[in-house]
Amino acid sequence: MPIRLKYLGLLLLAMTPLAQASGGNALSTDDIAWLRRASFGLDSATVERYRELGRTRFLDEELAGGDDPLPPPVAPLINSYEVYTTSPAKLIADYRDEAKKVKEVDAADTSAKDMAKKDFQMYRRDLYKQSAEVELLRAIYGRNQLKEQMVWFWLNHFSIYAAKGGVGLFATDYEENAIRPHALGKFKDLVMATLESPAMQLYLDNAHNIRGKTNENYARELMELHTLGVNAGYTQQDVQQLSLILTGAGIEPQRGPNIINGIDDRFLYQRPGVVRNGLFVFLPGRHDYSTKQFLGHTIKGSGFDEIEKSVDLIVHQPACAQFISRKLATYFVADDPPPALVDAMAQTFQRTDGDIAAVLRTMFLSKDITIGYGKKFKDPTQFLVSAMRMSYDGKPITNADPLVNWLNQMTEPVYGHSTPDGWASDSASWSSSGQMAKRFDVARAIGSGRNRLFANTDGDVPHIDPPMLNSSLFQQTLEPALSAATRDALAKATSQVEWNTFLLSSPDFNYR
């Protein structure tokens, strides 16, 4: 592919930070830089809203959060997904019915057995694809872009792996009911919501953590990855004690004669001490009621209350404020964020009892949010979402399959990180020559219009002209700060498709 080879050198320039440029038609360069951090990517609606409100009022509106309805342009598409409209309990029941079909095929009939297995694998892949598409469609079309970024940030921070067992059945429920409602709220509430999610209970094995047969996996990651960080001063004994505190927390049993649509109505679950929230259940009979010594505090055996006390104790550690603040600053500001900024954010975290919106406000009203502009490289999700927002500017797509395929090609699939540490957010992890070559291909697919984004339900793809990226949106936002190398490349484009491809794969676009 001569175009790809000719301009691959331009892509590799993305490893060198851009120089900040001045000027602009409607908004200042600093305004545009700020908006590119506060949103996944620019579109006309975001720019106009910012122009109308100004930075502080715009930020206040974003941080207010509030209800999060489906974006109207793609609501019909999202509502067509089984994983979005079906309860987790019903998804489990349907999943087991599909698995049962495989078992019922005569093992001697190898051809039929193989076909049944393939059908089941296709069923599982489709469920996963639907969950990934829900998240990507929300990210692209969601009006509150700061909240959408925070949903993605927390999904990655409290990472789950959909391919493990039945975890994928709960992925959309995890995003919609554990992460999204708390993305801008109190950090403790977010931790508790993820703790009570069936997805997390299954992924990190706490559903199997019971009295006399403890599993330390979730207890360890809860402190190491979710709240305190590796070098926060806690000990292996703290991990062991926390695993005892977490015994009895799991998910509603899904087998047995009393299970109806995933709910067990036996008298056992009406007993004192039982706590239920959706499919999450705390069973006193599986809990270790011994007295625990955790993070220097005595926690007496009392049941579910122990979990709430321990989480409260964790999130009020100064190490937690520092860990979360630094991770947020690393995502939004720079791979090595200014220590003074992290300290200011951590102080806000502690002063406001872990108010995520307040911490973000401290960061986004700091000069550091734009002073390092050009030094924060987009991960594949940020690249894909921003490319779609710039290219189609709110135009609704009818088929989100290509989005998932492109993200898979760039090796950052949604719910696809096999270990609980989540995807890296530093520039070095995503700016290799191999990654940039894949990114070029995705840029060309998006910029050409020759993709299946607008396929109808029958699979027919209408003729779509390439998007006009050199529009007023581009002229008001990206053009004033373009580097000489990118301007030179764009000037050599011989078609709209080439021009779009060169812009989307340029260093200017790939840096935030």
Q: 290 and 352, same structural domain?
A: no
Q: Between the CA of residue 372 and those of 118, 246, 366, what are the distances in Å?
A: 50, 42, 12
For residue 464, being part of any structural domain is answered with yes
pLDDT at res. 1? 46
Q: 154 and 278, same structural domain?
A: yes
Q: 330 and 309, same structural domain?
A: no
For residue 63, being part of any structural domain is answered with no
For residue 432, being part of any structural domain is answered with yes
Q: 176 and 306, same structural domain?
A: yes
- Write down which residue in 350, 371, 392 finishes a domain: 371
DSSP code at position 77: H
For residue 147, being part of any structural domain is answered with yes
- Write down which residue in 283, 315, 347 finishes a domain: 315
Q: Which amino acid is at 480?
A: P
Q: 334 and 469, same structural domain?
A: no
Q: 323 and 298, same structural domain?
A: no
Please, what's the b/e burial string for 49-82 (b: 16 or more CB within 10 A of its CB; e: otherwise)? Answer: bbeeeebeebbebbbebeebebbeebeebbeebe
pLDDT at res. 15? 40
How many Cβ atoms from other residues are within 10 Å of residue 393's Cβ? 16
pTM of the predicted model as reported, rounded to 2 decimal places: 0.92
Q: Could you tell me the residue range of the domain that residue 332 belongs to? A: 318-371
Q: 253 and 309, same structural domain?
A: yes
pLDDT at res. 19? 31
Q: 344 and 461, same structural domain?
A: no
Q: What is the pLDDT along the chain (512 residues), one digit of tens a residue?
A: 444 544 454 444 434 333 333 333 468 999 999 999 999 999 999 999 999 999 999 999 999 998 889 999 999 999 999 999 999 999 999 999 999 999 988 888 889 888 999 999 999 999 999 999 999 999 999 999 999 999 999 999 999 999 999 999 999 999 999 999 999 999 999 999 999 999 999 999 999 999 999 999 999 999 999 999 999 999 999 999 999 999 999 998 765 555 544 445 553 456 789 999 999 999 999 999 999 999 999 999 999 999 999 999 999 999 999 999 999 999 999 999 999 999 999 999 999 999 999 999 999 999 999 886 557 999 999 999 999 999 999 999 999 999 999 999 999 999 999 999 999 999 999 999 999 999 999 999 999 988 999 998 877 888 889 999 999 999 999 999 999 999 999 999 999 999 999 999 999 999 98
Q: 87 and 23, same structural domain?
A: no
Q: 407 and 264, same structural domain?
A: no
- Could you tell me the sign of the dihedral formed by the alpha carbons of 230, 235, 239, 242, in that order? negative
Q: 289 and 185, same structural domain?
A: yes
For residue 67, being part of any structural domain is answered with no
- Write down which residue in 371, 390, 414 finishes a domain: 371
- Could you tell me the sign of the dihedral formed by the alpha carbons of 377, 380, 382, 387, in that order? positive
Which residue, among 182, 210, 281, 301, has the nearest Cα to 309 in the 3D structure?
Answer: 301
Q: 379 and 340, same structural domain?
A: no
For residue 61, being part of any structural domain is answered with no
Q: Which amino acid is at 420?
A: P
| 292 φ, ψ (degrees, to nearest 5) | -115, 150
**In the chain, how many domains are there?**
3
For residue 273, being part of any structural domain is answered with yes
pLDDT at res. 374? 55
For residue 59, being part of any structural domain is answered with no
Per the prediction, the chain carries an average pLDDT of 91
Helices marked H in 196-317 — which ranges?
198-203, 217-221, 236-245, 304-315
pLDDT at res. 219? 98
